[in-house]
């Protein structure tokens, strides 16, 4: 018995789709038959993943823009009246890179804005631009990637956690507004994911098996996640199979947290 997710004929946009988790999601949506618009702030990254999807027999275009710039977002999405799936994947501090752990008292107000610009306002910009077409079409799927840092609370990443929690709360409100139009809005909350940037950062440090062991102690499944661990659930939530699921946050975290 086989099981297939069919997104044939659906136009999908993946923000931050030019690398890492976004790339895995874009490839999965393309494999499911979606026509994928691959966004990235670095045009070369967006084009490379779009070509990868096309090379595998799928349909894709590169759509570079900065999610923190509402005018850019609106202009880019305005060309896609048939946009049916939006995946708000871009995160961390956007082009500024990874979250570097520090106690909140050691940070300054100038440090906080970059996390909100990408994770909250970037998500708001993209949803604001995508909703009119989805409402007109009477169908839509919005999936936003958040973090267990915001859902559960992690020390030393307070501003990032606040931004991710804000994005999740925003999406729950939007779910209530647009459900009557056949649009679902859900979040996927991530634990620690072994992205290429994290692998590179780890390789630059001296090996520290004890530090790694302590990091994984909190995980029931004793490994870091991978981008492919995320792509399957996002693709399911983007599909017609998830038509009665909205306003939810699903943790993909190796058992880092449990909740009812």
Domain borders along the chain are 11-252
Res 27: pLDDT: 98
Catalytic residue list contains 160: yes
Q: What's the pLDDT score for residue 199?
A: 62
DSSP type of residue 188: E
The active-site residue, picked from 160, 219, 250, 256, is 160
Specify the CATH architecture of the domain 11-252.
3-Layer(aba) Sandwich (3.40)
pLDDT of residue 198: 65
Rg of the chain on CA atoms, in Å: 18
Question: Rounded CA gap, 58 and 146, in Å?
Answer: 27
Alpha-carbon span 98 to 108, nearest angstrom: 17
Q: Give pLDDT, residue 100.
A: 78
Structure tokens at 158: 């307070």
Give the chain's residues under pLDDT 50: none
For residue 81, what pLDDT is reported?
Answer: 82
Dihedral in degrees, nearest 10, Cα atoms 198, 22, 95, 81: -170
Taking the complete model, does pTM exceed 0.85, yes or no?
A: yes
**What are the start-end ranges of the H helices in the chain?**
20-31, 43-55, 70-77, 109-116, 122-137, 148, 158-178, 196-203, 209-216, 227-237
What pLDDT score was predicted for residue 90? 94
Q: Specify the pLDDT at position 115.
A: 94
Kindly tell me the burial class for residue 3, based on how many C-beta atoms sit within 10 Å of its own C-beta (0-12, 13-18, 19 or more).
exposed
């Amino acid at each position: 018995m086989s099981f297939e997710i069919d997104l044939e004929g659906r136009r999908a946009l993946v923000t931050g789709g030019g690398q890492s988790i976004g790339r895995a999601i874009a490839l999965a949506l393309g494999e499911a038959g979606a026509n994928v618009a691959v966004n990235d702030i670095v045009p070369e990254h967006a084009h490379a993943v779009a070509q990868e999807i096309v090379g595998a027999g799928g349909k894709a275009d590169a759509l570079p823009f900065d999610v923190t710039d509402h005018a850019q977002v609106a202009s880019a999405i305005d060309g896609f009246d048939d946009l049916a799936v939006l995946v708000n994947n871009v995160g961390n501090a956007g082009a500024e890179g990874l979250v570097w752990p520090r106690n909140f008292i050691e940070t300054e107000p100038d440090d906080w804005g970059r996390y909100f610009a990408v994770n909250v306002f970037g998500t708001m910009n993209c949803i604001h631009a995508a909703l009119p077409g989805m409402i007109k079409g009477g169908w839509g799927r919005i999936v936003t990637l958040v973090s267990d840092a915001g859902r559960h609370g992690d020390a030393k990443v307070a501003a990032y956690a606040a931004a991710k929690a804000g994005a999740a709360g925003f999406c729950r409100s939007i779910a209530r507004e647009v459900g009557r139009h056949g649009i679902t809005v859900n979040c996927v909350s991530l634990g620690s994911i072994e992205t290429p940037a994290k692998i590179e950062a780890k390789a630059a440090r001296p090996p520290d098996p004890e530090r790694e062991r302590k990091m994984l102690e909190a995980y029931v499944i004793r490994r870091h996640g991978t981008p492919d661990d995320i792509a399957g659930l996002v693709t399911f939530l983007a599909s017609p199979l998830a038509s009665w699921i909205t306003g939810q946050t699903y943790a993909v975290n190796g058992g880092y947290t449990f909740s009812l």
